[in-house]
């Protein structure tokens, strides 16, 4: 049934390392062979063998409006006709920056880049230059892209593949990255008491998505803001996933915390390669050409990416009800899953933040990386494959989020619930 995918995967492995351009796509932790996608529309992706799936991967978050949204496609067509890249400023990028700055009160200005990795990497350089310090603190299980400084106790694919950091990252650089458990302000205080004067920035996913979904404990983000401010350490919110997803103004608006710098990606590119970082003017003004911190990009502010991003943000801005609708659909799914789990006596925990959720196969609360890692990944793999068989595409790893989009219909939700019931109930 997946003949064409299997054939493509074998061709791919000859010319692409592991057959994929991003490791988790290879299905290593869930077994089986990856499905190759041919096309997608709304809530549905179709593989090269013609099988259709209700999609909760959403390209790992960007597609909050669903696949090939007509307004996004129209904007892309229009932009493409005017040329795909100029390497010069455009009106579109100014409008996108205005939309972002308006949505995020803590951002006075914003610079566009081409990926979340690039956004975070640049924000870290800027924080180091601004503070004149070299250390950074990150939280275990948070993923901030694959830049050298951040591949330390990282989530997402690093967690999925059980890689303890990465060979190739110089020890002298990795030493500058200190890690503490997510949600643990006491551990952070202890690290800062010892090393605070060397620390340029603390970076956090304000709501974690890359060790599965984990919300901050009440007060955690506020305390984080207080302890960093007191020591003149910059607080960086990595809202690559949560920006424009948990709320139009991201997690920082939802929790009313003002970080010094914010990293964005995913939704602001409407499914095209994009990232951005921004924040307080005095910090951002250190960037070239105003200041000495070099940061650049041939395709930064690319007209196609900007067009897709603007089309997406404009819809989100004009229809704020979207967020209630997304949250309700995710809540419906999660509550129903909890019932199924209970009915079948399956030890599992469902974490949800807005329209993102994770089903962890562990009976205990999941509040940090250590508790997430207690999850039974073999059981997750069986669940994943069962769902895929029934036409539901989830991220192929326990340590990722499922994303609900505006394109998921009531019928999609019902079909998904039926699949949950059958798969978790053992009728696979």
CB of 322 to ligand PMP, least distance (A): 21
What is the closest distance, in whole angstroms, from the C-beta atom of residue 424 to ligand PMP in the complex? Answer: 27
Separation of alpha carbons 64 and 87, rounded Å: 28
Neighbours of 290 (CB within 10 A): 10
Question: Rounded to the nearest whole angstrom, what is the least distance from the CB of residue 242 to ligand PMP in the complex?
Answer: 8
Q: Which residues pair with residue 202 across a beta bridge?
A: 137, 235
Judge whether 375 and 361 are in contact, CB under 8 Å.
yes
* Minimum gap (Å) between residue 229 Cβ and ligand PMP: 22
Closest CA to 395 of 15, 30, 19: 30
Among 47, 53, 153, 238, the active-site one is 238
SS in 3 state form for 4-27? HHHHHHHHHHHHCHHHCCCHHHHC
Task: Count the helix, strand and coil residues of the chain and give each as a percent rounded to the nearest 5.
Answer: 45, 15, 40
* Alpha carbon separation from 15 to 19, 35, 146, 231, 384 (Å, rounded): 7, 17, 22, 49, 28
**Catalytic annotation present for 238:** yes
Can you point out the beta strands (E) in 195-259? 199-204, 234-238
Q: How far is the CB of 208 from ligand PMP (least distance, A)?
A: 8
138, 153, 266, 329: the active-site residue: 266
Q: Which residue is nearest to ligand PMP (CB)?
A: 116
- We find the least distance from the C-beta atom of residue 342 to ligand PMP, in angstroms, to be 31
Nearer to ligand PMP, 260 or 412 (CB): 260
Kindly tell me which of 156 and 362 has the beta carbon lying closer to ligand PMP.
156
Residues in contact with ligand PMP by the rule CB under 6 A: 60, 115-117, 120, 143-145, 156, 205, 209-210, 238, 240-241, 265, 275
Give 2 or 397: the residue with its C-beta nearer to ligand PMP: 397
Judged by CB, which is closer to ligand PMP: 25, or 382? 25
- Tokens standing for residue 81: 């006709």
Instruction: Select 103 or 211, whichever has its Cβ closest to ligand PMP.
Output: 211
Q: What is the rounded distance in angstroms from the CA atom of residue 62 to the CA atom of residue 384?
A: 21
Which residue is catalytic, options 53, 56, 143, 255? 143
d(CA 394, CA 193): 42
Contact 276, 295 (CB under 8 A): no
CB atoms closer than 10 angstroms to residue 165: 15
> Which helix or strand (DSSP H or E) is residue 186 part of?
helix 185-195
Residue 130 a catalytic site member:
no
Residue number with CB closer to ligand PMP (26 or 423): 26
Residue 162, token pair as written in the block: 């059980």
Active site residue 329: no
| Residue listed under structure tokens 């060790």 | 211
Nearer to ligand PMP, 209 or 212 (CB): 209
Among 132, 155, 137, 109, CA closest to 264: 109
Q: Which helix (H) or strand (E) holds 136?
A: strand 135-139
CA–CA separation, 256 and 60 (whole Å): 25
User: Least distance in Å: CB of 427 to ligand PMP?
Assistant: 33
Collapse the DSSP code of 221 into the 3-class scheme (helix H, G, I; strand E, B; otherwise coil) and give the result: helix
Catalytic center residues: 143, 238, 266
């Amino acid at each position: 049934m997946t003949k064409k995918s299997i054939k493509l995967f074998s061709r791919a492995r000859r010319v692409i390392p592991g057959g994929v351009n991003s490791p988790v796509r290879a299905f290593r932790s869930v077994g089986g062979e990856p499905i190759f996608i041919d096309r997608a529309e709304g809530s549905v992706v179709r593989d090269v063998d013609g099988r259709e799936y209700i999609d909760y991967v959403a390209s790992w978050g960007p597609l909050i409006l669903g696949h090939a949204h007509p307004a996004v496609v129209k904007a892309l067509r229009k932009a493409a006709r005017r040329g795909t890249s100029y390497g010069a400023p455009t009106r579109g990028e100014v409008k996108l920056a205005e939309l972002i700055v308006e949505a995020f009160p803590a951002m006075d200005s914003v610079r566009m880049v081409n990926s979340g990795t690039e956004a975070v990497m640049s924000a870290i350089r800027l924080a180091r230059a601004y503070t004149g310090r070299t250390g950074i603190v990150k939280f275990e299980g948070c993923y901030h892209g694959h830049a050298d400084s951040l591949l330390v106790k990282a989530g997402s694919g690093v967690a999925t593949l059980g890689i303890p950091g990465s060979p190739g990252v110089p020890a002298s650089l990795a030493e500058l990255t200190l890690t503490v458990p997510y949600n643990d302000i006491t551990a952070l205080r202890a690290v800062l008491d010892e090393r605070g004067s060397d620390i340029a920035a603390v970076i956090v996913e304000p709501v974690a998505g890359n060790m599965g979904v984990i919300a901050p404990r009440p007060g955690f983000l506020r305390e984080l803001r207080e302890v960093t401010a007191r020591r003149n350490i910059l607080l960086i919110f990595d809202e690559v996933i949560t920006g424009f997803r948990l709320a139009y103004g991201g997690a920082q608006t939802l929790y009313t915390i003002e970080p010094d710098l914010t990293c964005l990606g995913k939704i602001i590119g409407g499914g095209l390669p994009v990232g951005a970082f921004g924040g307080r003017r005095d910090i951002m003004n250190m960037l070239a050409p105003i200041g000495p911190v070099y940061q650049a990009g041939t395709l930064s502010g690319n007209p196609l990416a900007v067009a897709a991003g603007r089309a997406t943000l404009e819809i989100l801005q004009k229809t704020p009800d979207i967020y209630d609708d997304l949250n309700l659909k995710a809540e419906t799914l999660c509550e129903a899953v909890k019932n199924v789990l209970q009915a079948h006596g399956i030890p599992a925990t469902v974490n949800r933040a807005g329209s993102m959720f994770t089903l962890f196969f562990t009976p205990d609360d999941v509040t940090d990386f250590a508790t997430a890692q207690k999850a039974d990944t073999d059981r997750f793999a069986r669940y994943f494959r069962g769902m895929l068989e029934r036409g539901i595409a989830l991220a192929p790893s326990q340590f990722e989020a499922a994303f609900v989009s505006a394109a998921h219909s009531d019928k999609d939700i019902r079909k998904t619930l039926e699949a949950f019931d059958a798969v978790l109930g053992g009728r696979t």
